[in-house]
Each structure stands twice: as C-alpha cells, then as structure tokens.
Amino acid sequence: MSSPVTLSGFNSIDFGTILNLVMQQASQPLQTLQTQQSTVSTENSTYSLLASKLGSLETAAADLSTSSGVTQYAATSSDTTALGVATTSSAVAGTYNVVVTSLAQSQVTASTSTAPDADTTAVATGGSLTIGGVAVTVTGSLTLKGLADQINATTSIPVSASVVESAPGAFRLVLTSTNTGTANAFTVTNALTGGAGVTFGGNTLAAANAALTVNGLAITSASNTLTSAIPGATLTLLSADPLKTVAVSVSANDAALVDKVQALASAYNNVIKFFQSQSTAAAQGQKGTIAHEAIIQQVRSTLRSALGGTYGTGTFTHLAEVGLGFDQAGSLTFNKAALTSALAQSRSSVNTLFAGTTTTGGFTNGAFGTMQGALHAFTQAGGFVSSAQTLLTSQSARLNTLINDMQDRLAVQRATLQREYTAADQAMTQLKSQSGTLSSLSANVT
C-alpha cells in the first residue's frame, strides 16, 4: 500500500502528482477485482483446454468401441492393373479367385450423316430429337455443336453429346450413354426438320454388362464397380481377360487396430500431462489453475475405473492382458507384441474386451465404449466441464459489473479532486502573490 499523501510546504506543489497518488490508493480495490477477473478468465480457458483434451480421448475411445472399429480388413489383388479392390468393416476374410470375362460398356451412337463443320452449317431449324425417352426440342437454327450443347443442357437426358471430326471436313454427332450396362441402352427418335439434317443408323458400340466369375460363380453387372460380389469388398474391374485368374486376398488389418490403440494411449497421456502441468503451475503459485478442483480427481478416477475394469467372459477380460498398462508416472503404456499375440490367440475375445456385446444409451459395454460414455458425461453440453465454465462465466460477468461501477465512481472522485486541487492551486498562487507584495511593502517601510 502506498504511503499517505503529505504536504511539506506550500511552495512548488505538484498537484498532479498528489492527485495520482490519491487515486492510486483509491484504485487498490479496483485492482483486486481486476486480478480476480483475470484469474477467473484464465481458469475458464484452462477448462476449455481440458475439454479439448478429453474430447480427443473420447474420440479415440469411440474408434475402438465397436466391432467394426476394432476389426478392420485389408484386401490385396494379385493384378492391380486388371482388378482393384477395397474393403469395408463387414468384409469376410478369405481368398477369392476372380476371372473377368468382359467389362461393362456404355452405348455409343454416332450420326450417319456428316456436316462440313461443327459450328457454322445449320443441321436443323425445328422439330425434336428424342433420346432415351427424353425429348430435345429445337426452336431455331442449330449447328452440330449447338445441337450437342442443347442435348447436354436437357434435364434427365441419359446421354452426353459431342461433335467428332471423323474425317477431314466430316463432322458427326456422337451420343454416349452416361452409364454402362444393357439397362442403360437408349433409342433415338429423330423428328428434326430443316437445315442440312441429321440421320442415325446402328450403334457404334452396344451397351454391355460386365461378366466375371468369383470362385467359379458367374456374375454379371451393369457397372464395372461391384459392391456385392465379395462380402464387404468393392471390386473395380479394369481390364478383361477370360484366361487370367486374379487372386483377391482379404484379411484382418491389425496394423489399423494398432494405430488406433496407440492413438488412444497418446490421447490419454496428453490428459495426464495436462494434469501434471496444472499441479506444477499451482505449486509455483500461478493463478487460474484447476489443479485442486474436484473435477480433476473425478476424471482420474473415471479413467482408471474404465481402463482397469473387467469386461466379458472370454480369454481376455482385462486390458492389461492385451498390452495396455500403466507406468510409475501414471502414463498409459502399450505393448504392441502383447496385443498381436492376443489377437492370434483369440480375436473374438479381444473384440469383446474392446467393444463389448451390447449397447446401452448409445455406448457399448466393452472397455472403450465404457470409457467413451464416462468421458461424454464431462464433455457433453451441460456436462461437468461446461457446467463449471458456466459458473465461471457468470462469476466473470458479476466481477465485470463491479469493475465498471467502481471505475465510474473513481472517475467521479478524480474529477471532484481535480476541481478541488485546481481551486487550491489558484488560492495558493494568490496567497504567494500577496505574500510577495507584503514583503516588498515591509522592505520599503524599513
């Protein structure tokens, strides 16, 4: 606290300095409120950081909380130039022999008539051209390019149109089905009038379905992309060769599972490091930490309970049995070899341990569904973290009101003192002038 303002004399008094000293003393309660508000704001930001880290951990747990998340599959093709393959979580492990006899193709129909140019000679001035049951009406002079443009602009037309120069000075209109397969074949009904005219004959290329066998089973498809020929796999036919057998191998992708477990361990340890940093900051006397808040202990207890619980009745019922444990610092450790061994011994038991067998309230009853549900109670809107932040926001608003009120009062006080000190300064200046006059008179009398 500043020392009280004292006046040692009446000469050369700096009333500005005196005013500042007085207001500095009067502003100490305001500074206390501002410090409190800064602390509340820092604490609120700290809760936001906690929410972010818990949210990341919740997401990592969710990725391991379902059977499809735990057991993913990868597929390989013995000839990626002939057959592409991708899998989903519903794939079935195995080897599938695929022979692609023919590819699906789109119908292509070209005009039998030609025009000497694409964009000068009018080929129609009226009438209509019906393609696949969709009419294109012509109401003015159109060149081949103009007719192609109007076809392409027609809603629901099942073809794309282009103009091709098939020989020097010979341009044709080409119609190509937008989808492959016999189901997407189209007919052309020509009722165009005027101009040089456009005529059509047979197809340049007929619509066709893809034909293949999978483990000897004959399959046809209107598309070269098949989603049901192999369970949980998408096949992309790239080339056909009836004499070539392409082997597709589908197997569990344990590398993806390892990555997810490592991601969870990292997210968990980020939470633990956050707690440790808060404790260190509090020990150093920093303001705005939440190290001593009950929510920290609640989170610790919740996570320990979820990670240390018993799940299922299979070969593995504890996470420690499949490579997840704790070191002396409380960090989560992951032994990849232990998980790989457990998967080889009983994949179904690992699946039950991680993802459980039932769902309650949107969360599975395995280790990570349980963790996800427990964390959700902290991270959801209206949860423990947001409730704490709501209280802090309300407290900050009250402090802000007090600060504004006190600043207004201090402004009034400063203005009042300013007027008083100005008057005092004027009075002292007058007294000093009078004193000088008296001294001069006294000297003259003497």
Structure tokens at 338: 């232990």
pLDDT at 40: 86
Q: What is the pLDDT of residue 439?
A: 65
* Secondary structure, 3-state, 202-257: CCCECCECEEEEECCEEEEECCCEECCCCCCEEEEECCCCCCCCEEEEEEECHHHH
User: Tokens standing for 317?
Assistant: 């019922």
* Helix, strand, coil tally for the chain in percent (to 5): 45, 20, 30
**Structure tokens, 392:** 């802090």
Sheet with 159-167, side-by-side order of all strands: 108-110, 170-177, 159-167
Q: Which residues are within 8 A (CB) of 408 and not within 5 positions of it... i.e. 6 or more apart?
A: none
Who contacts 188 (Cβ-Cβ below 8 Å, separation ≥6)?
A: 109, 129, 130, 131, 175, 200
Torsion of CA 365, 366, 367, 373, to 10 degrees: -30
Give the separation between CA 446 and CA 440, rounded to whole angstroms.
10
From CA 291, how far away is CA 133, in angstroms rounded?
A: 73
Kindly report the backbone phi and psi dihedral angles of residue 48, in degrees, each rounded to the nearest multiple of 5, phi listed first: -65, -40
Hey, what's the torsion of the CAs at 374, 379, 382, 387, to 10 degrees? Answer: 100
Mean pLDDT by 10 residues, the chain (446 residues): 44 70 83 85 91 96 92 93 91 94 98 97 97 96 97 97 97 98 97 96 96 97 96 96 97 92 97 94 90 92 94 94 93 96 94 94 95 95 90 88 87 84 74 67 60
- As a dihedral over the C-alpha atoms of residue 19, residue 22, residue 24, residue 25, rounded to 10 degrees, the angle is 180
Task: Please name which of 127, 153, 149 lies closest in space to residue 138, comparing C-alpha atoms.
Answer: 127
* Greatest CA separation for the chain: 141
Residue 248, Cβ neighbours under 10 Å: how many? 24
Q: Are 54 and 268 in contact (CB under 8 A)?
A: no
Cα–Cα distance, 128 to 106 (Å, whole number): 24
DSSP 105-144: B--EEEBSS-BS-SSSS--BSEEEEEETTEEEE--S-B-H
- pLDDT for position 21: 84
Helix (H, G, I), strand (E, B) or coil at 158: coil
pLDDT for 250 equals 94
Tokens coding 225? 């992309």
Q: Which residue has the tokens 């005013």?
A: 19
Buried b (16+ CB within 10 A) or exposed e, 254-266: beebbebbebbbe
- If DSSP codes are grouped into helix, strand and coil, which group holds residue 110? strand
Instruction: State the Cα–Cα distance between residues 189 and 110, nearest whole angstrom.
Output: 13
| Gap between the Cα atoms of 391 and 401, Å rounded | 16
- Spatial distance between the Cα atoms of 343 and 157, rounded to a whole number of angstroms: 53
The pair of three-digit structure tokens given for residue 14, joined into one six-digit string: 């700096």
Residue 125, both tokens: 């001035």
Considering only CA atoms, give the Rg of the chain.
42
